[in-house]
Amino acid sequence: MRYKLLLFFLVCFIINSCSSNNQHIRHTKEIIVTSEAGAKLAQMDNIGFQSGTATGNTITIQPENIKQTIDGIGTSFTESSAFVLAHLEPSERRAVMNQIFSKEGANFSIARTHIASCDFTVEGKYSYADVPSDINLDNFSIQPDIDGFDTAKYPGIKDPDYDLLPMIKEALAIKSEQRDSSLNIISSAWTAPYWMKDIEDWYISASEENNWAGTGGALKPEYIKTYSDYLVKYIEAYAEQGVAIWGLTPVNEPHGNNGSWESMNFSPESQNEFIKQHLGPALKTSPYNDTRILIFDQNRDGLEHWADVIFGDKQTAPFVYGAAIHWYESTNMVYEDAIDRVHSKFPQFSIIHTEGCIDNLGNDGPPESKNPALHKESNWFNNDSFWWNENATDWAFESPWIGEDVKNHPIYTPVHRYARNIIVSLDHWVTGWIDWNIVLDSIGGPNHVDNFCGAPIMIDTDTELVYYTPIYYVLSQLSRTIRPGDKAVQTQKHLPGLDDDTLHTCATINADKLLSVQLLNTSKDVVTVNLQIKKSYAEISIPANSVQTVRVQL
């Protein structure tokens, strides 16, 4: 009997020891950094963990506290991007596309594209149904996405057959060749065909004659169903071309853009009725009924009311996957409090960031700018320093809005705006994050209304110099280490010695128990913190002005 008791206690001791060992992390698996100092997806030396509870500046990760499932990190296909890429020889273009979509490159897993024209189309003002009163859409065609570009008009074009749809197909081919199916595409229309709208035009620009009240107009009541049919026909036409549309928003930026370019207005109430009465049922009975509907598709601070109206309608909700949001209401705020409130009320719906960019690239900045040369043409091209420092402004510095909201729209650091927004968003229930144009030319175009913006990759179409900006490397780092199906986990910061904006973090875990912790250091100094995971911690040094990924095998 005595021996049996001894054996029992020995077994218990062994089990307890094994359990304790499972709680202890020996060392990091991988540390990756991209920094102002010049690191680009650089591998750092692994570091060891020790048992115990850290004190001082500490980031605590709770991998057992699982949050949302990740849809992915990605970018966007636009006609403007295709136009710029068409200026390269096909082999050179393919090399760029590999850097965007292959496993050796950024390996983006989610993407967005526009339905017919938007500001980032070369000439704009087109749809797939430009014949007025064609209520049955007998003349519907996606040919504008296939036609290519006229070399007589654009003599720098090397591949006249390249266009928006060929660009998407090339990305899918890269994924297929690598046996990788992880590229989900969300499509958004900027407007219905002009004849379906009450203004009977693509948009009416703001001017003194209309008291600066430009508009994109709204659907005529008699064409509401036709517009729903138009969106469904787009999904069917793309499917016939071998391109599955994973998600759809009824319209981009339903609050409008003051008639600056193609747009169309919905209110939360009118979009709710549109989905409930038309688009939802039409998609449900379509052969392509797995396309997900995302509501809203505008600035995140306005999400809550839209969610209350549409997610809160028991008849509409079954048709809806989630909401799409943008970041343009502020260059420094993420509005995580609004996202938290929406998730708390409607936890079953996803929230995906579908558009963000360094907008209004090339405006002159405020007269009092500390750097008068701030926005001179091409200051940002082939110049990493621009992207790592306070060198960008947005529309709030453009007349007539100068000084109106400096708190939310200060001069900002482009890398910080991206990394902060992605990391804080994923730490607050956002399931996916999509950049805007992946490629633009050296001045941030083409854009048919001169709304020039930054892009992760910028190409001089005269010299064919391809510039991979720091934004590209940051997005690549996050995309490679945050994959579809990963789960966000709870994080907690205790940083009494640091400013609130100095350090941002989020963490995700995959099915193989590989934990990825993302860290943004916005300061010009190395920041040292203790990383606490379960019952182990390690002292982590985060290089100055950097994005660092720490990966740990649990």
What is the sign, positive or negative, of the torsion defined by CA atoms of 98, 162, 247, 119? Answer: positive
Same structural domain for residues 363 and 507?
no
Strands 527-533 and 58-69: parallel
Let me know if residue 401 belongs to a domain.
yes
Alpha-carbon distance values, 209 to 6, 204, 206, 281, 402 (Å): 95, 11, 8, 42, 22
Same domain assignment for residues 495 and 391: no
CA distances from 192 to 125, 235, 346, 509 (A): 11, 15, 30, 41
pLDDT of residue 303: 98
Residue 13 lies in a domain: no
Between CA 432 and CA 110 the distance in angstroms is 8
Are residues 40 and 161 located together in one domain of the fold? no
One domain, residues 214 and 360: yes
292 and 366 assigned to the same domain: yes
Q: Give the other-Cβ count within 10 Å of 52's Cβ.
A: 12
Task: Please choose, from the candidates 534, 546, 536, 542, the residue with its C-alpha nearest in 3D space to the C-alpha of residue 495.
Answer: 542
Q: What is the pLDDT of residue 396?
A: 81
- Tell me, what's the pLDDT at 9? 45
- Mark which of 484, 516, 541 sits at the end of a domain: 484
CATH number at residue 364: 3.20.20.80
What residues are paired with 197 via a beta bridge? 219
Q: What gap in Å lies between CA 436 and CA 454, rounded to an integer?
A: 9
Residue 8 located in a structural domain: no
SS3 367: coil
CA 62 to CA 75: how far, in whole Å?
Answer: 29
**177-201 residues labelled b (16+ CB within 10 A) or e (exposed):** eeeeebbbbbbbbbbbbbbbbeeeb
CATH number at residue 534: 2.60.40.1180
Q: What is the reported pTM?
A: 0.94
* 264 and 392 housed in the same domain: yes
Look at residue 453 and give its three-state secondary structure. coil
DSSP 392-451: B--GGGSTTSTTSSTTTS--B-HHHHHHHHHHHHHTTT--EEEEEESEEETTS---TT--
Judge if 459 and 500 occupy the same domain: no
Asked whether residue 403 falls in the same domain as residue 464, the answer is: yes
Closest CA to 359 of 427, 437, 283: 437
Number of compact structural domains in the chain? 2
Would 205 be classed as within a structural domain?
yes
Q: Taking the CB of residue 56, how many other CB atoms lie within 10 A of it?
A: 12
Domain end call among 463, 484, 505 = 484
Backbone angles phi, psi at 523, to 5 degrees: -90, 170
Of 169, 205, 206, 20, the residue nearest 85 (C-alpha): 169
pLDDT of the residue at 497: 84
Q: What is the 3-state secondary structure (H, E, C) of 147-173?
A: CCCCCCCCCCCCCCCCCHHHHHHHHHH
Q: How many residues does the chain have?
A: 554
109 and 47: one domain?
A: no
Q: Which residues of the chain have pLDDT under 70?
A: 1-23, 363-378, 399-405
- The answer to whether residues 54 and 175 belong to one domain is no
Structural contact between residues 42 and 33, judged by C-beta atoms closer than 8 angstroms: yes
Q: What is the per-residue burial (b if ≥16 Cβ within 10 Å, else e) of 408-438?
A: ebbbbbbbbbbbbbbbbbbbbbbbbbbbbbb
Write out the two tokens for 348: 């079953």
Burial class (CB in 10 A: 0-12, 13-18, 19+), 513: exposed
Task: State whether residue 492 is helix, strand or coil.
Answer: strand
CA atoms of 261 and 300, how far apart (whole Å)? 21
Evaluate whether 262 touches 197 at the Cβ level (below 8 Å): no
Q: CA-CA distance, 375 to 365, in Å (whole number)? A: 7
Question: Could you give the 3-state DSSP secondary structure of residue 135?
Answer: coil
| Domain membership flag for residue 134 | yes
Q: Quote the DSSP letter at residue 209.
A: G
- Please indicate, yes or no, if residue 214 is contained in any of the structural domains: yes
Domain hosting residue 512, numbered range: 24-68+488-553
Predicted pLDDT of residue 379 = 87
User: Residues 6 or more apart from 342 whose CB is under 8 A from it?
Assistant: 303, 304, 307, 311, 323, 349, 351
Strands (E), 457-513: 457-459, 466-468, 487-494, 503-509
Whether 165 and 206 map to the same domain: the answer is yes
Q: Number of helices (H) and strands (E), helices first, in the chain?
A: 12, 21
User: Looking at the domain assignment, is residue 11 inside a domain?
Assistant: no
Domain end position, chosen among 453, 484, 515: 484
Q: In whole angstroms, what is the distance from residue 52 CA to residue 234 CA?
A: 57
Query: Does residue 3 fall inside a structural domain?
Result: no
Q: Which token pair is 205?
A: 């620009």
Query: Are 357 and 369 found together in one domain?
Result: yes
Residue 240's φ and ψ, nearest 5 degrees, are -65, -25
Quote the DSSP letter at residue 291.
Answer: P
